[in-house]
Amino acid sequence: MFKLTAALVFAVACASQVIAHGAPPSGAAILQRREHNVLVGRALQRRCGATLAKRKAERMRKRAYNGLSQFKRDANDSLCILTPEVTQGPYHILGELVRQNITQSQQGVPMELDVDFIDIDTCEPVSNVWVDGWSCNATGVYSGYEAASAAANSGGTGAGGASSSASGFPSGTAGGQTSTASGAYSGADSSDSSIAIDAPGDSDNFLRGVWQADESGHLTMYSIVPGWYSGRSAHFHIKVYTEGNGSIADNATFIAGSAVHTGQFFFADSFMEQVGNLTPYNTNTVERLTNDDDAWFAYENAEGYTAEMDIAVTDEGDIMAGVIGSITVGLNLTYSSVELANYWWAGDSELSSLAAASETASASFAV
Ligand SMILES: *[C@@H]1O[C@H](CO)[C@@H](O)[C@H](O)[C@H]1NC(C)=O
Ligand SMILES: *[C@@H]1O[C@H](CO)[C@@H](O)[C@H](O)[C@H]1NC(C)=O
Ligand SMILES: *[C@@H]1O[C@H](CO)[C@@H](O)[C@H](O)[C@H]1NC(C)=O
Ligand SMILES: *[C@@H]1O[C@H](CO)[C@@H](O)[C@H](O)[C@H]1NC(C)=O
Ligand SMILES: *[C@@H]1O[C@H](CO)[C@@H](O)[C@H](O)[C@H]1NC(C)=O
Ligand SMILES: *[C@@H]1O[C@H](CO)[C@@H](O)[C@H](O)[C@H]1NC(C)=O
């Protein structure tokens, strides 16, 4: 539950970022949104429920970890609903390597990402989608933005800095104003938003990469359980492109067309507590927020969606041996999810220059 103390901390943090981004929602508004999410979830008409639940059960059986699912979320993916759109934040980098394993020697709990993509119109799998995945490392640092994220985590003023803002808020659709609506698109980026994107400061690329789902809309990628950083709970970012919207360059990097979805996967608090006790996560000096205190979690859970992955521990009693995180993502195939990074954009050059123009001296988002 959302606690009063958390609401106060939150409110104070919000106050400090008003200058940069207009008025963020109050703690009460976030709470209200969460309650709304629960009500919508309960009231949802269940479409294709049996088919979807069966598909998930089959997958679990095939992978033989059904009995090991220790951090099972309260959802069996039987709802054919849209996965809400949530900001990509300032740390997305286009043109990353096409590879299945993005670990690149980063220390942490090995994680197999096990994701199914379905079309919310038909409840059928979406074949061969491209998935760009990225996260911070166990101590909260994003490759490409190491100086900025490290400074933020030690209380500096970089993105996610404790002293600058507790969290980034959705730019909403009203010219950068924070959205207080609670629909599936209220956390979406928009091309007229004021989100500040900084160009990468280094050329590292650990925990970043693009891989393709198979014909049955199933994606398998390898990474580590993300750590956390100032103002956020642990999360893993994705951007999704339909088959025709992606290709591979000669140098094995991804050429992106228009994305259909941008979002973030979350993890059960009870799971992250255990992860937090393990090396090297226990050397992370930044306070980890719980999901209920994370401003983006409620947006990603809008309209009845469950944004936490199911976590199966491959060796019970030894999380360090690895986990499998699974989740189903419902796609709206006619939606176009904007790209605001100014790094490299093979798609819409107009959007690209728009993003470049909106780049400001201070990026004070934690996303
Ligand atoms: C999945 O959840 C739905 C809705 O709660 C329920 O009707 C259905 O029986 C469940 N299916 C399985 C296989 O657990
Ligand atoms: C992924 O790469 C890491 C090294 O970066 C390696 O330790 C791990 O075994 C690889 N995972 C798989 C499933 O191959
Ligand atoms: C995370 O990345 C930073 C920058 O490369 C590095 O200094 C730090 O040691 C990494 N954390 C872990 C746990 O390896
Ligand atoms: C790219 O995706 C958009 C939706 O974002 C879709 O309308 C378009 O048809 C796709 N293009 C190709 C070549 O598949
Ligand atoms: C890889 O190729 C793409 C497309 O030609 C190019 O834009 C990009 O700069 C190249 N990346 C590297 C690291 O050379
Ligand atoms: C899917 O995206 C289209 C285009 O943005 C939009 O008109 C439609 O309402 C969306 N469908 C749902 C279920 O959100």
For the stretch 140-155, pLDDT in tens is 999 999 988 888 787 6
The Cβ of residue 272 has, within 10 Å, a number of other Cβ atoms equal to: 23
Average the pLDDT over 78-96 and give the result: 86
Q: Name the least confident of 200-209, 247-256, 319-328, 354-363.
A: 354-363
How much is the mean pLDDT over the chain?
76
Alpha carbons 213 and 232: distance in angstroms, whole number:
28
Is residue 365 over pLDDT 60?
A: no
Q: Give the whole-number percent of the chain exceeding pLDDT 70.
A: 68
Alpha carbons 94 and 96: distance in angstroms, whole number:
6
Ligand closest in space to the Cα of 226: 3
> Which pair of tokens denotes residue 126?
């979406």
Residue of the nearest CA to atom 9 in ligand 4?
244
For the stretch 280-289, pLDDT in tens is 999 999 999 9
Pocket of ligand 4 from Cβ distances under 6 Å? 242, 244-245, 257-258, 260, 336
Alpha carbons 206 and 209: distance in angstroms, whole number:
8
Domains of the chain: 4-358 (2.60.130.10)
Atom index in ligand 2 nearest the CA of residue 106 equals: 5
Confidence tier at 193 by pLDDT (50, 70, 90): low
Nearest CA-CA partner of 337 in 83, 165, 8: 83
H helix count then E strand count, the chain = 8, 10
Alpha carbons 269 and 291: distance in angstroms, whole number:
7
| The total number of residues written for the chain in this structure | 367
- pTM here is 0.82
Query: Residue written as tokens 């107009």?
Result: 350
Alpha carbons 32 and 43: distance in angstroms, whole number:
17
Ligand closest in space to the Cα of 93: 5
CB 194 within 8 A of CB 176: yes
CB 189 within 8 A of CB 337: yes
Pocket of ligand 1 from Cβ distances under 6 Å? 46, 49, 53, 57, 76, 78
Average the pLDDT over 227-250 and give the result: 96
Cross-strand pairs, 101 = 222
Task: Label the pairing between strands 235-241 and 259-266.
Answer: antiparallel
Cross-strand pairs, 240 = 131, 261
Alpha carbons 347 and 262: distance in angstroms, whole number:
16
pLDDT of residue 315: 83
CB 284 within 8 A of CB 230: no
Say whether 155 sits in a helix, a strand or coil.
coil
pLDDT of residue 20: 28
Q: What is the DSSP letter of 283?
A: G
Alpha carbons 228 and 288: distance in angstroms, whole number:
6
Ligand closest in space to the Cα of 47: 1
> Is the C-beta atom of 334 inside 6 A of ligand 6?
yes
Report the alpha-carbon angle 135-141-142, nearest 5: 50
For the stretch 34-84, pLDDT in tens is 777 666 655 554 566 677 777 777 776 666 555 565 776 767 677 778 899
Alpha carbons 163 and 160: distance in angstroms, whole number:
9
> Is the C-beta atom of 280 inside 6 A of ligand 3?
yes
Most ligand 1 atoms within 8 A of CB, residue of 59, 60, 78, 306 to mutate: 78
pLDDT of residue 268: 94
CB 255 within 8 A of CB 249: yes
